[in-house]
C-alpha cells in the first residue's frame, strides 16, 4: 500500500513540477511505470514542445543534484568494458526503449558523472555531439565512454551505431578529450566497439589499465 501511495504522490509532483496535464501522464502510465515516464518523456506521446522542454530541464536539475551529492561517495573505477557493463547493465538491459548514456571519468579512471544524453523509440536514439561535448567540458572529463541498449536484446552494433560513434570519436579529437569506448548492451551480453576493433584503442586509457596490473584489450 505504501508503494502505491508513493507512486501516486510521485505522479502528482511530476505533473505539477513539469506542468504536464495529469491526463497526458495517465495515458502514458497505461504502457509504462511512472519512473519510466519520468526518465523518457517521449512516452508521453502528445506532449507539446514546451512541456518536453520543461521535463528535460527538470530531469537535468535532478540529475545534477544527484550526481553532485553522490560524486565523491561512489568512487567507482572503470578499467575495462566489463566494468562499464557491470555498472550499467542492471538498469539498461531491461529497458523497452533505446537510451544512450555517457560515463565521464577523471584521470584516475574514477566515475565522476553519468548522464543520459539521448532517448528514443525502438529504432533509434541518436546522441548529439554538442550535448556530449558540453557535458564533458562542464565536468572536466579526462575520458568518455558511451553505452546504449538494444531493446531487441541483440548487442551487435548496427552500421548506424558504428558510423555515429566514429564521427563522435573524430569530433572529440579536436577538443582534447579522450574517447575510450562505446558499449552496446543486449539482454544478457554486450559488445565493446573498442574490443571489436570498430574504433581505435585509446593509448592513454590502456596505460592506466597496465598500471592497475591488467590489460583486457
Whether 165 and 193 have beta carbons less than 8 Å apart is answered as: yes
Whether 115 and 85 have beta carbons less than 8 Å apart is answered as: no
The reported pLDDT for the residue numbered 208 is 58
Q: Cβ-count burial of 185 within 10 angstroms (0-12 exposed, 13-18 middle, 19+ buried)?
A: buried
pLDDT at 105 over 90: yes
84 vs 8, higher pLDDT: 84
61 vs 16, higher pLDDT: 16
- First-to-last alpha carbon distance for the chain, in angstroms, is 49
Confidence of residue 72 (pLDDT cuts 50, 70, 90): very low
The reported pLDDT for the residue numbered 198 is 94
Strands laid side by side in the 111-119 sheet: 111-119, 99-105, 143-149, 178-185, 190-192
Which superfamily is assigned to 75-212 in CATH? Cytidine Deaminase, domain 2 (3.40.140.10)
Mean pLDDT of 37-50: 86
98 vs 65, higher pLDDT: 98
Q: How far is CA 214 from CA 112, 146, 164, 209, in A?
A: 22, 22, 30, 6
Q: The pTM is what?
A: 0.64
Sign of the torsion angle spanned by Cα atoms 108, 112, 118, 121: positive
Mean pLDDT of 22-44: 87
98 vs 1, higher pLDDT: 98
The 10s digit of each residue's pLDDT in 157-201 is 999 899 989 988 888 888 878 999 999 999 999 999 999 999 988
The reported pLDDT for the residue numbered 175 is 80
What is the Cβ-side half-sphere exposure of residue 205, based on CA atoms within 13 angstroms? 26
Find how far residue 42's CA is from the centre of its chain.
16
pLDDT at 153 over 60: yes
Quick one: the chain helix, strand, coil %, rounded to 5?
50, 15, 35
Determine the Cα–Cα distance for residues 111 and 114; give it in Å rounded to an integer: 8
The reported pLDDT for the residue numbered 127 is 65
Of the chain, the percentage scoring pLDDT greater than 90 comes to 31
Amino acid at each position: 500500500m505504501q508503494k502505491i501511495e508513493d507512486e501516486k504522490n510521485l505522479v502528482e509532483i511530476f505533473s505539477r513540477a513539469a506542468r504536464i496535464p495529469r491526463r497526458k501522464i495517465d495515458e502514458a502510465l497505461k504502457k509504462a511505470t511512472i519512473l519510466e515516464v519520468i526518465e523518457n518523456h517521449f512516452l508521453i506521446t502528445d506532449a507539446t514542445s514546451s512541456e518536453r522542454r520543461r521535463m528535460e530541464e527538470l530531469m537535468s536539475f535532478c540529475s545534477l543534484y544527484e550526481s553532485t551529492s553522490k560524486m565523491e561517495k561512489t568512487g567507482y573505477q572503470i578499467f575495462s568494458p566489463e566494468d562499464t557493463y557491470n555498472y550499467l547493465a542492471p538498469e539498461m538491459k531491461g529497458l523497452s526503449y533505446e537510451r544512450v548514456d555517457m560515463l565521464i571519468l577523471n584521470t584516475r579512471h574514477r566515475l565522476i558523472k553519468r548522464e543520459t544524453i539521448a532517448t528514443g523509440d525502438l529504432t533509434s536514439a541518436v546522441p548529439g555531439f554538442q550535448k556530449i561535448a558540453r557535458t564533458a567540458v562542464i565536468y572536466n572529463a579526462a575520458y568518455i565512454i558511451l553505452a546504449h541498449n538494444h531493446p531487441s536484446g541483440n548487442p551487435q552494433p548496427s552500421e548506424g551505431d558504428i558510423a555515429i560513434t566514429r564521427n563522435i570519436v573524430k569530433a572529440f579529437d579536436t577538443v582534447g578529450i579522450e574517447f575510450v569506448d562505446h558499449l552496446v548492451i543486449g539482454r544478457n551480453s554486450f559488445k565493446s566497439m573498442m574490443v571489436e576493433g570498430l574504433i581505435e584503442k585509446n593509448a592513454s586509457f590502456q596505460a592506466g589499465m597496465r598500471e592497475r596490473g591488467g590489460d583486457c584489450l
